[in-house]
Protein backbone atom coordinates (compact mmCIF):
# COMPACT_ATOMS: atom_id res chain seq x y z
CA UNK A 1 0.00 0.00 0.00
CA UNK A 2 1.28 3.44 -0.94
CA UNK A 3 1.97 5.84 1.89
CA UNK A 4 -0.74 8.29 0.73
CA UNK A 5 -3.32 5.49 0.51
CA UNK A 6 -2.37 4.32 3.96
CA UNK A 7 -2.72 7.87 5.31
CA UNK A 8 -6.16 8.23 3.69
CA UNK A 9 -7.29 4.89 5.09
CA UNK A 10 -6.08 5.82 8.56
CA UNK A 11 -7.81 9.19 8.34
CA UNK A 12 -11.07 7.59 7.26
CA UNK A 13 -10.84 5.11 10.13
CA UNK A 14 -10.19 7.91 12.64
CA UNK A 15 -13.16 9.91 11.36
CA UNK A 16 -15.41 6.86 11.52
CA UNK A 17 -14.28 6.15 15.07
CA UNK A 18 -14.82 9.75 16.16
CA UNK A 19 -18.32 9.77 14.71
CA UNK A 20 -19.24 6.47 16.27
CA UNK A 21 -18.06 7.56 19.73
CA UNK A 22 -19.89 10.86 19.31
CA UNK A 23 -23.00 8.92 18.45
CA UNK A 24 -22.44 6.70 21.47
CA UNK A 25 -22.07 9.71 23.75
CA UNK A 26 -25.27 11.20 22.37
CA UNK A 27 -27.15 8.01 23.06
CA UNK A 28 -26.04 7.46 26.59
CA UNK A 29 -27.39 8.62 29.92
CA UNK A 30 -25.31 8.50 33.04
CA UNK A 31 -27.53 8.17 36.08
CA UNK A 32 -26.59 8.59 39.73
CA UNK A 33 -28.93 6.80 42.15
CA UNK A 34 -29.08 4.75 45.35
CA UNK A 35 -31.35 1.97 44.15
CA UNK A 36 -29.13 -0.98 44.94
CA UNK A 37 -31.53 -3.29 46.85
CA UNK A 38 -33.13 -6.19 44.94
CA UNK A 39 -36.59 -4.65 44.46
CA UNK A 40 -35.11 -1.23 43.66
CA UNK A 41 -32.70 -2.60 41.08
CA UNK A 42 -35.51 -4.51 39.45
CA UNK A 43 -37.65 -1.37 39.19
CA UNK A 44 -34.74 0.55 37.72
CA UNK A 45 -34.37 -2.28 35.19
CA UNK A 46 -37.78 -1.27 33.79
CA UNK A 47 -36.39 2.17 32.96
CA UNK A 48 -33.10 0.85 31.58
CA UNK A 49 -34.98 -1.49 29.27
CA UNK A 50 -37.34 1.24 28.13
CA UNK A 51 -34.39 3.44 27.16
CA UNK A 52 -32.51 0.55 25.59
CA UNK A 53 -35.41 0.01 23.22
CA UNK A 54 -34.91 3.59 22.07
CA UNK A 55 -31.20 2.94 21.48
CA UNK A 56 -30.09 4.79 24.60
CA UNK A 57 -27.53 3.10 26.78
CA UNK A 58 -27.47 3.40 30.54
CA UNK A 59 -24.28 4.21 32.37
CA UNK A 60 -24.94 3.21 35.93
CA UNK A 61 -23.63 5.23 38.85
CA UNK A 62 -24.99 3.56 41.98
CA UNK A 63 -24.19 4.92 45.44
CA UNK A 64 -25.37 2.46 48.10
CA UNK A 65 -26.76 3.80 51.37
CA UNK A 66 -30.52 4.09 50.88
CA UNK A 67 -32.20 7.40 51.58
CA UNK A 68 -29.16 8.74 53.47
CA UNK A 69 -26.75 11.45 52.37
CA UNK A 70 -24.06 9.43 50.55
CA UNK A 71 -25.37 10.05 47.03
CA UNK A 72 -25.44 13.82 47.49
CA UNK A 73 -21.80 13.77 48.67
CA UNK A 74 -20.73 11.91 45.52
CA UNK A 75 -22.74 14.33 43.40
CA UNK A 76 -21.02 17.32 45.00
CA UNK A 77 -17.62 16.02 43.86
CA UNK A 78 -18.85 15.41 40.31
CA UNK A 79 -20.38 18.86 39.95
CA UNK A 80 -17.28 20.49 41.41
CA UNK A 81 -15.20 18.66 38.80
CA UNK A 82 -17.56 20.09 36.14
CA UNK A 83 -18.57 16.58 35.16
CA UNK A 84 -22.20 16.26 36.24
CA UNK A 85 -24.09 13.05 35.44
CA UNK A 86 -27.03 13.29 33.02
CA UNK A 87 -29.62 12.65 35.70
CA UNK A 88 -29.64 12.21 39.46
CA UNK A 89 -32.20 10.53 41.72
CA UNK A 90 -33.11 13.13 44.30
CA UNK A 91 -35.56 14.02 47.03
CA UNK A 92 -37.52 17.18 47.76
CA UNK A 93 -35.60 20.12 49.13
CA UNK A 94 -32.27 18.80 47.82
CA UNK A 95 -33.59 19.47 44.31
CA UNK A 96 -34.14 23.11 45.14
CA UNK A 97 -30.67 23.42 46.66
CA UNK A 98 -29.02 22.18 43.45
CA UNK A 99 -31.19 24.42 41.30
CA UNK A 100 -30.08 27.42 43.35
CA UNK A 101 -26.53 26.57 42.34
CA UNK A 102 -27.48 26.83 38.69
CA UNK A 103 -26.50 23.21 38.13
CA UNK A 104 -29.75 21.97 36.61
CA UNK A 105 -31.15 21.81 33.08
CA UNK A 106 -34.33 23.44 31.78
CA UNK A 107 -37.08 21.00 30.74
CA UNK A 108 -39.79 23.57 30.00
CA UNK A 109 -40.33 22.87 26.31
CA UNK A 110 -40.69 19.12 26.86
CA UNK A 111 -42.96 19.73 29.88
CA UNK A 112 -45.23 22.00 27.84
CA UNK A 113 -45.32 19.61 24.90
CA UNK A 114 -46.25 16.74 27.22
CA UNK A 115 -48.62 18.68 29.48
CA UNK A 116 -46.84 17.89 32.76
CA UNK A 117 -48.48 20.84 34.51
CA UNK A 118 -51.88 19.19 34.22
CA UNK A 119 -50.97 15.74 35.52
CA UNK A 120 -48.34 16.25 38.21
CA UNK A 121 -49.84 17.19 41.61
CA UNK A 122 -48.95 20.60 43.02
CA UNK A 123 -47.27 18.99 46.03
CA UNK A 124 -44.68 17.45 43.67
CA UNK A 125 -44.38 20.37 41.26
CA UNK A 126 -43.21 22.42 44.20
CA UNK A 127 -40.02 20.36 44.05
CA UNK A 128 -39.81 19.55 40.31
CA UNK A 129 -39.76 23.23 39.36
CA UNK A 130 -37.43 26.00 40.37
CA UNK A 131 -38.32 29.61 39.78
CA UNK A 132 -41.26 28.38 37.67
CA UNK A 133 -39.09 26.19 35.40
CA UNK A 134 -39.20 22.40 35.17
CA UNK A 135 -35.88 20.86 36.19
CA UNK A 136 -36.85 17.33 37.23
CA UNK A 137 -39.07 14.43 36.22
CA UNK A 138 -40.89 12.87 39.21
CA UNK A 139 -40.98 9.09 38.90
CA UNK A 140 -43.07 8.08 41.92
CA UNK A 141 -44.71 8.93 45.19
CA UNK A 142 -43.71 6.81 48.15
CA UNK A 143 -45.45 6.99 51.44
CA UNK A 144 -43.41 6.44 54.51
CA UNK A 145 -45.81 5.68 57.38
CA UNK A 146 -46.31 1.98 56.69
CA UNK A 147 -45.81 -1.17 58.70
CA UNK A 148 -44.85 -4.42 56.93
CA UNK A 149 -45.69 -7.56 58.83
CA UNK A 150 -45.16 -11.28 58.40
CA UNK A 151 -48.62 -12.84 58.49
CA UNK A 152 -47.53 -16.24 59.80
CA UNK A 153 -45.39 -14.73 62.56
CA UNK A 154 -48.38 -12.70 63.72
CA UNK A 155 -50.66 -15.76 63.61
CA UNK A 156 -48.13 -17.83 65.57
CA UNK A 157 -47.90 -15.05 68.12
CA UNK A 158 -51.65 -14.67 68.56
CA UNK A 159 -51.87 -11.27 66.89
CA UNK A 160 -55.18 -11.61 65.12
CA UNK A 161 -55.45 -8.25 63.39
CA UNK A 162 -53.27 -5.27 62.59
CA UNK A 163 -52.98 -3.02 65.63
CA UNK A 164 -54.90 0.23 65.30
CA UNK A 165 -53.33 2.47 67.91
CA UNK A 166 -50.09 2.87 69.82
CA UNK A 167 -51.04 0.70 72.79
CA UNK A 168 -52.31 -1.98 70.45
CA UNK A 169 -49.00 -1.88 68.59
CA UNK A 170 -47.00 -2.24 71.79
CA UNK A 171 -49.21 -5.15 72.88
CA UNK A 172 -48.63 -6.84 69.50
CA UNK A 173 -44.86 -6.28 69.69
CA UNK A 174 -44.91 -7.88 73.16
CA UNK A 175 -46.78 -10.92 71.86
CA UNK A 176 -44.32 -11.41 69.00
CA UNK A 177 -41.41 -11.00 71.40
CA UNK A 178 -42.88 -13.55 73.81
CA UNK A 179 -42.83 -16.15 71.01
CA UNK A 180 -39.12 -15.59 70.44
CA UNK A 181 -39.30 -13.62 67.19
CA UNK A 182 -37.62 -10.26 66.64
CA UNK A 183 -40.54 -7.90 67.24
CA UNK A 184 -39.29 -4.91 65.23
CA UNK A 185 -36.93 -5.34 62.28
CA UNK A 186 -34.97 -2.12 62.12
CA UNK A 187 -31.68 -0.86 60.78
CA UNK A 188 -29.90 1.65 62.98
CA UNK A 189 -28.98 4.30 60.42
CA UNK A 190 -29.93 7.96 60.93
CA UNK A 191 -32.42 8.11 58.04
CA UNK A 192 -34.11 4.91 59.22
CA UNK A 193 -34.37 6.14 62.81
CA UNK A 194 -35.87 9.34 61.40
CA UNK A 195 -38.40 7.30 59.39
CA UNK A 196 -39.66 5.84 62.67
CA UNK A 197 -39.67 9.32 64.19
CA UNK A 198 -41.95 10.77 61.47
CA UNK A 199 -44.53 8.09 62.22
CA UNK A 200 -44.25 8.44 65.98
CA UNK A 201 -44.73 12.22 65.76
CA UNK A 202 -48.06 11.72 63.98
CA UNK A 203 -49.16 8.78 66.14
CA UNK A 204 -48.50 10.89 69.23
CA UNK A 205 -49.54 14.41 68.30
CA UNK A 206 -51.71 13.94 65.21
CA UNK A 207 -51.28 15.51 61.78
CA UNK A 208 -51.64 19.13 62.92
CA UNK A 209 -48.86 18.64 65.43
CA UNK A 210 -46.68 17.03 62.75
CA UNK A 211 -47.22 20.03 60.49
CA UNK A 212 -46.41 22.51 63.22
CA UNK A 213 -43.29 20.72 64.41
CA UNK A 214 -41.83 19.16 61.26
CA UNK A 215 -42.96 21.52 58.51
CA UNK A 216 -43.48 24.91 60.17
CA UNK A 217 -40.60 24.14 62.57
CA UNK A 218 -42.59 25.84 65.29
CA UNK A 219 -40.46 26.24 68.42
CA UNK A 220 -43.31 25.63 70.81
CA UNK A 221 -44.35 22.39 69.15
CA UNK A 222 -40.75 21.20 68.94
CA UNK A 223 -40.23 21.87 72.63
CA UNK A 224 -43.59 20.58 73.86
CA UNK A 225 -44.56 17.81 76.26
CA UNK A 226 -46.01 16.01 73.28
CA UNK A 227 -42.53 15.95 71.77
CA UNK A 228 -41.19 14.51 75.00
CA UNK A 229 -43.73 11.74 74.68
CA UNK A 230 -42.57 11.18 71.10
CA UNK A 231 -39.03 10.60 72.34
CA UNK A 232 -40.32 8.32 75.13
CA UNK A 233 -42.09 6.25 72.49
CA UNK A 234 -38.94 6.10 70.36
CA UNK A 235 -37.17 4.59 73.38
CA UNK A 236 -40.05 2.19 73.75
CA UNK A 237 -39.52 1.02 70.15
CA UNK A 238 -35.78 0.73 70.77
CA UNK A 239 -36.65 -2.01 73.25
CA UNK A 240 -38.06 -4.20 70.46
CA UNK A 241 -35.14 -4.28 68.01
CA UNK A 242 -32.58 -7.09 67.95
CA UNK A 243 -28.94 -6.82 69.05
CA UNK A 244 -27.59 -6.62 65.51
CA UNK A 245 -29.63 -3.66 64.36
CA UNK A 246 -26.85 -1.05 64.36
CA UNK A 247 -25.97 0.15 60.87
CA UNK A 248 -28.04 -2.56 59.17
CA UNK A 249 -29.38 -1.70 55.71
CA UNK A 250 -33.15 -1.34 55.47
CA UNK A 251 -33.53 -4.18 52.98
CA UNK A 252 -31.80 -6.63 55.33
CA UNK A 253 -34.39 -5.70 57.94
CA UNK A 254 -37.14 -6.33 55.38
CA UNK A 255 -35.52 -9.72 54.78
CA UNK A 256 -35.95 -10.60 58.47
CA UNK A 257 -39.70 -10.06 58.10
CA UNK A 258 -39.81 -11.85 54.73
CA UNK A 259 -37.98 -14.87 56.16
CA UNK A 260 -40.26 -15.10 59.20
CA UNK A 261 -37.60 -14.11 61.73
CA UNK A 262 -39.24 -10.82 62.65
CA UNK A 263 -42.80 -9.58 63.05
CA UNK A 264 -42.89 -5.97 61.90
CA UNK A 265 -40.90 -3.33 60.06
CA UNK A 266 -41.82 0.36 59.97
CA UNK A 267 -40.65 1.51 56.55
CA UNK A 268 -41.71 3.34 53.40
CA UNK A 269 -43.41 1.34 50.69
CA UNK A 270 -40.16 0.65 48.86
CA UNK A 271 -40.09 -2.25 51.35
CA UNK A 272 -42.93 -3.81 49.37
CA UNK A 273 -40.57 -4.05 46.41
CA UNK A 274 -38.45 -6.45 48.48
CA UNK A 275 -41.43 -8.63 49.45
CA UNK A 276 -42.62 -8.81 45.83
CA UNK A 277 -39.11 -9.49 44.59
CA UNK A 278 -38.97 -12.42 47.03
CA UNK A 279 -42.18 -13.83 45.54
CA UNK A 280 -44.36 -12.89 48.52
CA UNK A 281 -48.01 -11.91 48.19
CA UNK A 282 -49.88 -9.17 50.07
CA UNK A 283 -52.52 -10.48 52.49
CA UNK A 284 -51.26 -14.03 51.95
CA UNK A 285 -47.66 -13.80 53.16
CA UNK A 286 -47.42 -10.25 54.42
CA UNK A 287 -49.60 -7.40 55.61
CA UNK A 288 -49.28 -3.71 54.92
CA UNK A 289 -50.97 -1.17 57.17
CA UNK A 290 -50.40 2.36 58.35
CA UNK A 291 -48.24 2.86 61.41
CA UNK A 292 -50.79 2.48 64.22
CA UNK A 293 -52.15 5.87 65.21
CA UNK A 294 -51.35 7.49 61.84
CA UNK A 295 -54.37 6.27 59.86
CA UNK A 296 -55.79 9.05 57.69
CA UNK A 297 -52.40 10.75 57.41
CA UNK A 298 -49.82 10.10 54.75
CA UNK A 299 -46.20 11.23 54.92
CA UNK A 300 -44.74 11.16 51.45
CA UNK A 301 -41.60 11.51 49.45
CA UNK A 302 -41.14 11.51 45.72
CA UNK A 303 -38.08 10.31 43.85
CA UNK A 304 -37.34 12.64 41.00
CA UNK A 305 -34.75 12.46 38.28
CA UNK A 306 -33.13 15.86 38.32
CA UNK A 307 -31.60 16.71 34.96
CA UNK A 308 -28.20 18.38 35.17
CA UNK A 309 -26.49 20.82 32.86
CA UNK A 310 -24.67 18.67 30.31
CA UNK A 311 -22.99 19.32 26.96
CA UNK A 312 -25.13 19.62 23.84
CA UNK A 313 -24.10 16.14 22.71
CA UNK A 314 -25.85 14.62 25.73
CA UNK A 315 -29.04 16.67 25.72
CA UNK A 316 -30.99 14.55 23.26
CA UNK A 317 -30.66 11.44 25.40
CA UNK A 318 -31.38 13.48 28.53
CA UNK A 319 -34.70 14.68 27.13
CA UNK A 320 -35.55 11.19 25.93
CA UNK A 321 -34.98 9.93 29.46
CA UNK A 322 -37.17 12.66 30.98
CA UNK A 323 -39.90 11.83 28.48
CA UNK A 324 -39.64 8.10 29.20
CA UNK A 325 -39.86 8.69 32.97
CA UNK A 326 -43.05 10.68 32.55
CA UNK A 327 -44.85 8.25 30.26
CA UNK A 328 -48.03 6.88 31.92
CA UNK A 329 -47.37 3.29 30.87
CA UNK A 330 -43.85 3.47 32.24
CA UNK A 331 -45.09 5.02 35.51
CA UNK A 332 -47.45 2.12 35.97
CA UNK A 333 -44.90 -0.59 35.12
CA UNK A 334 -42.18 0.97 37.27
CA UNK A 335 -44.24 1.69 40.36
CA UNK A 336 -45.87 -1.74 40.42
CA UNK A 337 -42.37 -3.15 40.94
CA UNK A 338 -41.00 -0.36 43.14
CA UNK A 339 -43.82 -0.36 45.71
CA UNK A 340 -44.63 3.29 45.14
CA UNK A 341 -47.49 4.91 43.24
CA UNK A 342 -47.31 7.01 40.06
CA UNK A 343 -46.33 10.67 40.19
CA UNK A 344 -49.06 11.40 37.62
CA UNK A 345 -52.70 11.57 38.57
CA UNK A 346 -53.94 9.99 35.31
CA UNK A 347 -52.46 6.49 35.65
CA UNK A 348 -55.03 3.71 36.20
CA UNK A 349 -54.60 1.48 39.27
CA UNK A 350 -55.48 -1.82 37.51
CA UNK A 351 -51.97 -3.23 37.50
CA UNK A 352 -51.39 -2.57 41.24
CA UNK A 353 -51.75 -5.15 44.03
CA UNK A 354 -53.89 -4.54 47.12
CA UNK A 355 -51.20 -2.62 49.01
CA UNK A 356 -50.60 -0.45 45.94
CA UNK A 357 -54.32 0.21 45.45
CA UNK A 358 -54.66 1.06 49.13
CA UNK A 359 -51.65 3.38 48.85
CA UNK A 360 -53.12 5.21 45.86
CA UNK A 361 -56.51 5.63 47.48
CA UNK A 362 -55.15 6.79 50.82
CA UNK A 363 -52.86 9.27 49.13
CA UNK A 364 -55.78 10.82 47.26
CA UNK A 365 -57.90 10.92 50.42
CA UNK A 366 -55.14 12.48 52.51
CA UNK A 367 -54.51 15.02 49.80
CA UNK A 368 -58.18 16.06 49.93
CA UNK A 369 -58.27 16.10 53.72
CA UNK A 370 -55.09 18.17 54.04
CA UNK A 371 -53.23 15.37 55.78
CA UNK A 372 -50.77 14.56 52.99
CA UNK A 373 -47.52 15.83 54.46
CA UNK A 374 -43.91 15.83 53.34
CA UNK A 375 -41.68 13.39 55.19
CA UNK A 376 -38.97 15.00 57.32
CA UNK A 377 -36.88 11.82 57.20
CA UNK A 378 -37.01 11.83 53.40
CA UNK A 379 -36.31 15.45 52.65
CA UNK A 380 -39.82 16.70 51.94
CA UNK A 381 -40.58 18.63 55.11
CA UNK A 382 -37.55 20.90 55.48
CA UNK A 383 -34.25 21.67 53.75
CA UNK A 384 -31.27 19.33 54.18
CA UNK A 385 -29.64 21.47 56.88
CA UNK A 386 -32.69 21.09 59.15
CA UNK A 387 -33.25 17.46 58.19
CA UNK A 388 -29.68 16.56 59.09
CA UNK A 389 -29.98 18.43 62.40
CA UNK A 390 -33.11 16.40 63.22
CA UNK A 391 -31.32 13.17 62.20
CA UNK A 392 -28.51 13.91 64.66
CA UNK A 393 -30.79 14.46 67.65
CA UNK A 394 -33.08 11.53 66.89
CA UNK A 395 -30.24 9.09 66.30
CA UNK A 396 -28.28 10.15 69.36
CA UNK A 397 -31.35 9.69 71.52
CA UNK A 398 -32.40 6.39 69.92
CA UNK A 399 -28.97 4.83 70.24
CA UNK A 400 -27.70 6.34 73.46
CA UNK A 401 -28.70 7.23 76.96
CA UNK A 402 -30.00 10.72 76.34
CA UNK A 403 -33.07 11.42 78.52
CA UNK A 404 -36.13 12.47 76.49
CA UNK A 405 -36.24 15.92 78.22
CA UNK A 406 -32.72 16.61 76.96
CA UNK A 407 -33.52 15.36 73.46
CA UNK A 408 -36.42 17.81 73.27
CA UNK A 409 -34.13 20.72 74.21
CA UNK A 410 -31.52 19.55 71.72
CA UNK A 411 -34.15 19.32 69.02
CA UNK A 412 -35.29 22.90 69.56
CA UNK A 413 -31.70 24.19 69.48
CA UNK A 414 -30.63 22.06 66.53
CA UNK A 415 -33.57 23.14 64.38
CA UNK A 416 -33.18 26.81 65.35
CA UNK A 417 -29.48 26.64 64.48
CA UNK A 418 -30.08 24.98 61.12
CA UNK A 419 -33.00 27.10 59.89
C1 LIG B 1 -35.83 6.60 49.73
C2 LIG B 1 -36.29 6.57 48.32
C3 LIG B 1 -36.86 5.26 47.99
C4 LIG B 1 -36.00 4.11 48.47
C5 LIG B 1 -35.41 4.33 49.84
C6 LIG B 1 -34.39 3.31 50.28
O7 LIG B 1 -35.24 7.81 50.01
O8 LIG B 1 -37.28 7.54 48.12
O9 LIG B 1 -37.09 5.20 46.61
O10 LIG B 1 -35.06 3.85 47.53
O11 LIG B 1 -34.87 5.59 49.95
O12 LIG B 1 -33.30 3.21 49.44
Instruction: Give domain limits for the chain.
Output: 30-142+302-367, 146-300+374-418
- DSSP conformation letters of 304-342: EEEEBP--HHHHHHHHHHHHHHH-HHHHHHHHHHHS-B-
pLDDT confidence of residue 22: 46
Q: pTM of the predicted model, to two decimals?
A: 0.92
User: Which atom of ligand 1 approaches the CA of 302 most closely?
Assistant: 8
CA of 36 to the centre of ligand 1 (A): 10
Q: Is 282 in the pocket of ligand 1 (CB under 6 A)?
A: no
Q: Is 270 in the pocket of ligand 1 (CB under 6 A)?
A: yes
Question: What band does 2 get if pLDDT is binned at 50, 70 and 90?
Answer: low
- Closest by CA to 399, choosing from 238, 240, 264, 253, is 238
**Residue 156 predicted with pLDDT over 50:** yes
How do residues 392-405 score in pLDDT, each as one tens digit?
Answer: 999 999 999 999 99
Number of alpha carbons in the 13 Å side-chain half-sphere of residue 239: 12
Least confident of 13-17, 181-185, 293-297: 13-17
pLDDT greater at residue 7 or residue 112? 112
- Average pLDDT of the chain to the nearest whole number: 94
Choice from 37, 270, 338, 341 to test ligand 1 binding pocket (greatest atom count within 8 A of CB): 270
**Residue 266 predicted with pLDDT over 80:** yes
User: Which atom of ligand 1 approaches the CA of 35 most closely?
Assistant: 10
- Closest by CA to 229, choosing from 248, 240, 213, is 213
Q: Which residues of 254-291 are buried (b: 16+ CB within 10 A; e: fewer)?
A: bbbbbeeebbbbbbbbbbbbbbbbeebebeebbbbbbb
CATH topology of domain 146-300+374-418: D-Maltodextrin-Binding Protein; domain 2 (3.40.190)
Q: What is the average pLDDT across 138-154?
A: 98
Whole-number Å distance between alpha carbons of 22 and 15: 10
pLDDT confidence of residue 68: 82
Q: What is the average pLDDT across 133-145?
A: 98
- Asked whether the CA dihedral 66, 186, 166, 225 is positive or negative, the reply is negative
Whole-number Å distance between alpha carbons of 245 and 240: 10
CA of 269 to the centre of ligand 1 (A): 9
Domain 30-142+302-367 has CATH 3.40.190.10: yes
CA of 73 to the centre of ligand 1 (A): 16
Q: Is 305 in the pocket of ligand 1 (CB under 6 A)?
A: no
- Report which protein residue has its CA nearest ligand 1's atom 11: 67
Whole-number Å distance between alpha carbons of 91 and 69: 11
How do residues 215-264 score in pLDDT, each as one tens digit?
Answer: 999 999 999 999 999 999 999 999 999 999 999 999 999 999 999 999 99
**Residue 201 predicted with pLDDT over 90:** yes
Q: Is 377 in the pocket of ligand 1 (CB under 6 A)?
A: no
How do residues 82-106 score in pLDDT, each as one tens digit?
Answer: 999 999 999 999 999 999 999 999 9
pLDDT confidence of residue 21: 44
pLDDT confidence of residue 26: 54
CA of 140 to the centre of ligand 1 (A): 11
CA of 271 to the centre of ligand 1 (A): 9
- Report which protein residue has its CA nearest ligand 1's atom 3: 270
**Residue 12 predicted with pLDDT over 70:** no
pLDDT confidence of residue 15: 47
Q: What are the residues facing 32 on neighbouring strands?
A: 61, 88
How many CB atoms lie under 10 A from the CB of residue 121? 18
pLDDT confidence of residue 69: 87
Q: Is 107 in the pocket of ligand 1 (CB under 6 A)?
A: no
Question: What band does 18 get if pLDDT is binned at 50, 70 and 90?
Answer: very low
Judge whether 30-142+302-367 and 146-300+374-418 match in fold. Answer: yes
Tell me whether strands 182-184 and 262-266 are parallel, antiparallel or unpaired. parallel
**Residue 316 predicted with pLDDT over 90:** yes
- Closest by CA to 219, choosing from 350, 23, 413, 391, is 413
Phi, psi of 25 (to 5 degrees): -60, -40
Show the DSSP H helices in 259-292 as ranges.
271-277
pLDDT confidence of residue 17: 45
How do residues 367-377 score in pLDDT, each as one tens digit?
Answer: 999 999 999 99
How do residues 332-385 score in pLDDT, each as one tens digit?
Answer: 999 999 999 999 999 999 999 999 999 999 999 999 999 999 999 999 999 999
CB 338 within 8 A of CB 38: no
pLDDT confidence of residue 24: 46
Rg of the chain taking only CA atoms, in angstroms: 23
How do residues 122-138 score in pLDDT, each as one tens digit?
Answer: 999 999 999 999 999 99
Q: Is 272 in the pocket of ligand 1 (CB under 6 A)?
A: no
- Report which protein residue has its CA nearest ligand 1's atom 12: 66
Q: Is 378 in the pocket of ligand 1 (CB under 6 A)?
A: yes
In the chain, % of residues over pLDDT 90: 92
Amino acid sequence: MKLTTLKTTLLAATIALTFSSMARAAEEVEVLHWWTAGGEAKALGVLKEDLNKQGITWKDMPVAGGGGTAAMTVLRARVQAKNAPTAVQMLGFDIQDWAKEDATANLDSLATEEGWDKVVPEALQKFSKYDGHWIAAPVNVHSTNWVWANKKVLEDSGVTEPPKDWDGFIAALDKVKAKGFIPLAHGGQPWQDATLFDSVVIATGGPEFYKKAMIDLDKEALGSDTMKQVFDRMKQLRGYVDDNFSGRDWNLSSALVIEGKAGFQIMGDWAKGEFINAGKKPDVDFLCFRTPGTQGSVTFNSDQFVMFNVGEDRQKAQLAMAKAVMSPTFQSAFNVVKGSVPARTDVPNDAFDDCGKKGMQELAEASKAGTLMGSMAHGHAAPASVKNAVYDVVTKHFNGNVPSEDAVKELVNAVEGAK
